[in-house]
Amino acid sequence: MLLNALKSFSMIDSNTILDSVKYVVDNSGHVKINTDMIKDHTDAVIGKGIHWEDVAPIKIPELDKEKKIAFFVVFNALNFSYWGKPKWTIEYKGKEYDGCWGMLGALSRSIEEKQQLFDSASLKHLSEDKLNQILRGNTEIPLFKERLQLLNEIGKIVNEKYGGKFSGLLDAADNDAFRLLELLTEFPCFNDYIEFKGKQVFFYKKVQLAVCDLSKFCQGNLKNINHLTAAADYKIPQILRKYRILEYSEALANKIDKKIEINPGSNQEIEIRANTVWAVELMKQAINDPNVTATDIDHYLWIQGQKKEESDKPYHRTRTIFY
Beta strand pairing status for 199-202 and 193-196?
A: antiparallel
How many Cα neighbours within 13 Å face the side chain of 174?
11
Domain that holds residue 139: 14-305
Q: What does the pLDDT read at residue 48?
A: 66
Beta pairing partners, 163: none
How many Cα neighbours within 13 Å face the side chain of 6?
22
120 within a domain of the structure (yes/no): yes
CA distances, 50 to each of 74, 125, 293 (Å): 22, 37, 11
pLDDT tens for each residue of the chain, 323 residues long: 333 333 344 678 888 999 999 999 999 999 999 999 999 998 878 766 678 888 999 999 899 999 999 999 999 999 999 999 999 999 999 999 999 999 999 999 999 999 999 999 999 999 999 999 999 999 999 999 999 999 999 999 999 999 999 999 999 999 999 999 999 999 999 999 999 999 999 999 999 999 999 999 887 789 999 999 999 999 999 999 999 999 999 999 999 999 999 999 999 999 999 999 999 999 999 999 988 999 999 999 999 988 888 899 999 999 999 99
Task: Please give the helix or strand (H or E) that residue 89 lies within, else none.
Answer: strand 89-92
142 within a domain of the structure (yes/no): yes
SS3 16: helix
6 within a domain of the structure (yes/no): no
Q: What does the pLDDT read at residue 11?
A: 77
Residue 277 has phi, psi (to 5 degrees) of: -60, -45
Is residue 34 classed exposed, middle or buried when 0-12, 13-18 and 19+ CB atoms within 10 A define those classes? middle
316 within a domain of the structure (yes/no): no
Distance of alpha carbon 181 from alpha carbon 170, whole angstroms:
10
314 within a domain of the structure (yes/no): no
Going by C-alpha positions, the residue among 302, 293, 286, 273 that lies closest to residue 229 is 293
Note the pLDDT tens digit of each residue in 64-97. Answer: 999 999 999 999 999 999 999 999 999 999 999 9
The residues near 45 (Cβ < 8 Å, ≥ 6 apart) are 283, 287, 292, 296, 297, 300
Note the pLDDT tens digit of each residue in 147-163. Answer: 999 999 999 999 999 99
Beta pairing partners, 91: 96
What is the 8-class DSSP label of residue 176? B
Q: What does the pLDDT read at residue 4?
A: 33
SS3 293: coil
3-state helix, strand, coil in the chain (%, to 5): 55, 5, 40
Determine the distance from the C-alpha atom of residue 162 to the mean position of all C-alpha atoms in its chain, rounded to a whole number. Answer: 23
240 within a domain of the structure (yes/no): yes
- Domain count within the chain: 1
232 within a domain of the structure (yes/no): yes
Distance of alpha carbon 131 from alpha carbon 141, whole angstroms:
11
Task: Return the active site residues.
Answer: 233
274 within a domain of the structure (yes/no): yes
Distance of alpha carbon 70 from alpha carbon 165, whole angstroms:
9
